[in-house]
Protein backbone atom coordinates (compact mmCIF):
# COMPACT_ATOMS: atom_id res chain seq x y z
CA UNK A 1 0.00 0.00 0.00
CA UNK A 2 1.03 3.60 -0.65
CA UNK A 3 -0.10 7.09 0.33
CA UNK A 4 0.39 8.97 -2.94
CA UNK A 5 3.18 11.12 -1.49
CA UNK A 6 6.05 11.02 -4.01
CA UNK A 7 9.48 10.94 -2.35
CA UNK A 8 11.76 10.85 -5.40
CA UNK A 9 11.67 11.57 -9.11
CA UNK A 10 13.54 8.66 -10.63
CA UNK A 11 14.86 8.41 -14.17
CA UNK A 12 14.57 5.52 -16.59
CA UNK A 13 18.16 4.41 -17.10
CA UNK A 14 17.65 1.49 -19.47
CA UNK A 15 14.84 -0.42 -21.18
CA UNK A 16 15.01 -4.07 -22.22
CA UNK A 17 12.05 -5.41 -24.20
CA UNK A 18 11.34 -9.13 -24.43
CA UNK A 19 8.54 -11.06 -26.11
CA UNK A 20 6.72 -11.38 -22.74
CA UNK A 21 7.34 -8.16 -20.88
CA UNK A 22 9.72 -5.26 -20.37
CA UNK A 23 12.54 -4.62 -17.92
CA UNK A 24 13.23 -1.09 -16.72
CA UNK A 25 16.26 0.10 -14.81
CA UNK A 26 15.41 3.14 -12.69
CA UNK A 27 17.96 5.59 -11.27
CA UNK A 28 17.06 6.98 -7.86
CA UNK A 29 18.43 9.31 -5.18
CA UNK A 30 17.40 6.74 -2.55
CA UNK A 31 20.00 4.60 -0.82
CA UNK A 32 19.32 1.34 -2.67
CA UNK A 33 21.12 -0.66 0.03
CA UNK A 34 17.90 -0.25 2.04
CA UNK A 35 15.68 -1.60 -0.73
CA UNK A 36 15.06 -5.34 -0.56
CA UNK A 37 14.73 -7.51 -3.65
CA UNK A 38 10.99 -8.20 -3.94
CA UNK A 39 10.09 -4.79 -2.47
CA UNK A 40 7.06 -2.99 -3.87
CA UNK A 41 7.61 0.52 -5.25
CA UNK A 42 5.06 2.80 -6.90
CA UNK A 43 6.20 4.01 -10.35
CA UNK A 44 3.90 6.79 -11.62
CA UNK A 45 1.15 5.07 -9.63
CA UNK A 46 1.94 1.47 -10.67
CA UNK A 47 3.06 -0.96 -7.99
CA UNK A 48 6.10 -2.86 -9.33
CA UNK A 49 8.46 -5.39 -7.75
CA UNK A 50 12.20 -4.77 -7.45
CA UNK A 51 14.02 -7.66 -9.19
CA UNK A 52 17.63 -6.40 -9.19
CA UNK A 53 19.53 -3.44 -7.79
CA UNK A 54 22.87 -1.68 -7.68
CA UNK A 55 24.25 1.55 -6.25
CA UNK A 56 21.78 4.29 -7.19
CA UNK A 57 19.51 2.11 -9.34
CA UNK A 58 17.08 -0.80 -9.29
CA UNK A 59 15.27 -2.88 -11.91
CA UNK A 60 11.62 -3.86 -12.30
CA UNK A 61 9.82 -6.09 -14.79
CA UNK A 62 6.49 -5.06 -16.31
CA UNK A 63 3.98 -7.42 -17.91
CA UNK A 64 2.28 -6.77 -21.24
CA UNK A 65 -1.01 -6.29 -19.35
CA UNK A 66 0.44 -3.37 -17.37
CA UNK A 67 2.18 -1.95 -20.44
CA UNK A 68 -1.12 -1.92 -22.35
CA UNK A 69 -3.20 -0.36 -19.54
CA UNK A 70 -0.83 2.37 -18.26
CA UNK A 71 1.63 5.00 -19.46
CA UNK A 72 4.53 2.63 -18.75
CA UNK A 73 4.38 1.22 -22.28
CA UNK A 74 5.72 4.50 -23.67
CA UNK A 75 8.62 4.93 -21.24
CA UNK A 76 12.07 5.44 -22.76
CA UNK A 77 15.55 5.98 -21.37
CA UNK A 78 15.78 9.43 -19.81
CA UNK A 79 12.09 9.70 -18.82
CA UNK A 80 11.28 10.96 -15.32
CA UNK A 81 9.16 8.81 -12.98
CA UNK A 82 7.33 9.59 -9.72
CA UNK A 83 8.53 7.08 -7.10
CA UNK A 84 7.13 6.11 -3.70
CA UNK A 85 8.22 3.26 -1.46
CA UNK A 86 5.54 1.13 0.20
CA UNK A 87 4.09 2.51 3.43
CA UNK A 88 5.16 0.99 6.71
CA UNK A 89 2.91 0.55 9.72
CA UNK A 90 3.19 3.72 11.77
CA UNK A 91 4.15 5.98 8.82
CA UNK A 92 2.44 9.35 8.56
CA UNK A 93 -0.60 9.12 6.27
CA UNK A 94 -0.09 12.34 4.33
CA UNK A 95 -2.15 11.44 1.26
CA UNK A 96 -4.79 8.71 1.08
CA UNK A 97 -4.81 4.90 0.84
CA UNK A 98 -3.42 3.98 -2.58
CA UNK A 99 -3.08 0.40 -3.86
CA UNK A 100 -0.78 1.05 -6.82
CA UNK A 101 -3.28 -0.56 -9.21
CA UNK A 102 -4.02 1.83 -12.07
CA UNK A 103 -7.73 1.92 -12.97
CA UNK A 104 -7.38 3.65 -16.32
CA UNK A 105 -5.72 6.32 -18.42
CA UNK A 106 -6.87 9.93 -18.25
CA UNK A 107 -5.97 12.69 -20.68
CA UNK A 108 -4.85 16.23 -19.77
CA UNK A 109 -7.40 18.63 -21.29
CA UNK A 110 -6.04 21.96 -20.04
CA UNK A 111 -3.40 23.50 -17.78
CA UNK A 112 -4.06 27.00 -16.45
CA UNK A 113 -1.74 28.96 -14.13
CA UNK A 114 -3.64 30.39 -11.12
CA UNK A 115 -1.44 32.54 -8.91
CA UNK A 116 1.47 30.27 -7.99
CA UNK A 117 -0.60 27.13 -8.58
CA UNK A 118 -1.77 25.34 -11.72
CA UNK A 119 -5.32 24.22 -12.43
CA UNK A 120 -5.35 21.02 -14.48
CA UNK A 121 -8.39 19.53 -16.21
CA UNK A 122 -8.27 15.79 -16.87
CA UNK A 123 -10.72 13.71 -18.91
CA UNK A 124 -11.38 10.31 -17.33
CA UNK A 125 -12.43 7.30 -19.40
CA UNK A 126 -15.94 5.90 -19.14
CA UNK A 127 -17.13 4.39 -16.81
CA UNK A 128 -14.28 5.42 -14.47
CA UNK A 129 -15.52 9.01 -14.34
CA UNK A 130 -18.55 7.89 -12.29
CA UNK A 131 -16.27 7.14 -9.32
CA UNK A 132 -14.68 10.62 -9.19
CA UNK A 133 -16.29 13.17 -6.87
CA UNK A 134 -15.60 16.79 -5.97
CA UNK A 135 -13.53 17.00 -2.76
CA UNK A 136 -12.72 13.31 -3.10
CA UNK A 137 -9.25 11.85 -3.55
CA UNK A 138 -7.65 10.60 -6.75
CA UNK A 139 -4.16 9.44 -7.66
CA UNK A 140 -2.66 10.92 -10.84
CA UNK A 141 0.68 9.41 -11.93
CA UNK A 142 1.15 8.25 -8.34
CA UNK A 143 0.37 11.61 -6.71
CA UNK A 144 -2.46 11.85 -4.15
CA UNK A 145 -4.65 14.83 -5.10
CA UNK A 146 -7.98 16.37 -4.15
CA UNK A 147 -10.59 16.76 -6.89
CA UNK A 148 -11.84 20.36 -7.05
CA UNK A 149 -14.79 19.90 -9.43
CA UNK A 150 -16.31 17.39 -11.82
CA UNK A 151 -18.34 17.95 -14.97
CA UNK A 152 -19.22 14.89 -17.05
CA UNK A 153 -16.01 12.99 -17.74
CA UNK A 154 -13.74 15.94 -16.88
CA UNK A 155 -12.41 16.72 -13.40
CA UNK A 156 -10.23 19.58 -12.16
CA UNK A 157 -7.23 19.61 -9.83
CA UNK A 158 -5.34 22.49 -8.27
CA UNK A 159 -1.60 21.73 -8.08
CA UNK A 160 0.32 23.81 -5.52
CA UNK A 161 3.85 25.02 -6.38
CA UNK A 162 5.54 22.43 -4.11
CA UNK A 163 3.78 19.48 -5.80
CA UNK A 164 4.37 21.07 -9.21
CA UNK A 165 8.15 21.06 -8.64
CA UNK A 166 8.75 17.83 -6.63
CA UNK A 167 6.75 15.52 -8.94
CA UNK A 168 6.53 14.98 -12.69
CA UNK A 169 3.20 16.87 -12.81
CA UNK A 170 5.12 20.08 -13.60
CA UNK A 171 6.17 18.54 -16.91
CA UNK A 172 2.65 17.67 -18.11
CA UNK A 173 1.35 19.05 -21.41
CA UNK A 174 -2.16 19.21 -22.85
CA UNK A 175 -2.96 15.88 -24.48
CA UNK A 176 -0.65 13.84 -22.24
CA UNK A 177 -2.00 10.55 -20.86
CA UNK A 178 -1.89 10.08 -17.07
CA UNK A 179 -2.33 7.01 -14.86
CA UNK A 180 -5.46 7.25 -12.71
CA UNK A 181 -6.35 5.33 -9.58
CA UNK A 182 -9.71 6.19 -8.07
CA UNK A 183 -10.22 6.36 -4.33
CA UNK A 184 -10.46 2.85 -2.88
CA UNK A 185 -13.51 3.76 -0.77
CA UNK A 186 -15.35 5.02 -3.85
CA UNK A 187 -14.55 1.78 -5.68
CA UNK A 188 -15.95 -0.44 -2.93
CA UNK A 189 -18.99 1.78 -2.33
CA UNK A 190 -19.85 1.66 -6.05
CA UNK A 191 -19.44 -2.14 -6.08
CA UNK A 192 -21.63 -2.47 -2.99
CA UNK A 193 -24.36 -0.36 -4.64
CA UNK A 194 -24.20 -2.52 -7.80
CA UNK A 195 -24.80 -5.71 -5.82
CA UNK A 196 -27.27 -4.33 -3.25
Domain 104-195: assigned CATH number: 2.40.30.20
H or E, element range at 65: helix 64-69
pLDDT for 45:
97
The pTM score is: 0.92
Q: Give pLDDT, residue 188.
A: 67
Note the pLDDT of residue 190.
66
Do 8-85 and 104-195 show the same overall fold?
Answer: yes
State the pLDDT at residue 91: 72
pLDDT computed for residue 98 by the predictor: 87
- pLDDT, block means (10 residues), the chain with 196 residues: 94 89 96 97 97 97 94 96 89 80 96 96 94 94 96 97 97 98 76 66
Sign of dihedral through CA atoms 109, 99, 103, 60?
Answer: positive
Class of domain 8-85: mainly beta
Coil vs helix vs strand at 14:
strand
Task: List the chain domain ranges.
Answer: 8-85, 104-195
Amino acid sequence: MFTGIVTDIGRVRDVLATDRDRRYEIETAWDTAGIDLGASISHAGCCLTVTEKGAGWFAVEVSNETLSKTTLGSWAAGDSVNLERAAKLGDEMGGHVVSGHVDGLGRVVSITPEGGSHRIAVEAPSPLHRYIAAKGSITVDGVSLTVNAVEGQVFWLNIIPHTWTVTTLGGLKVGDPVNLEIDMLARYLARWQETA
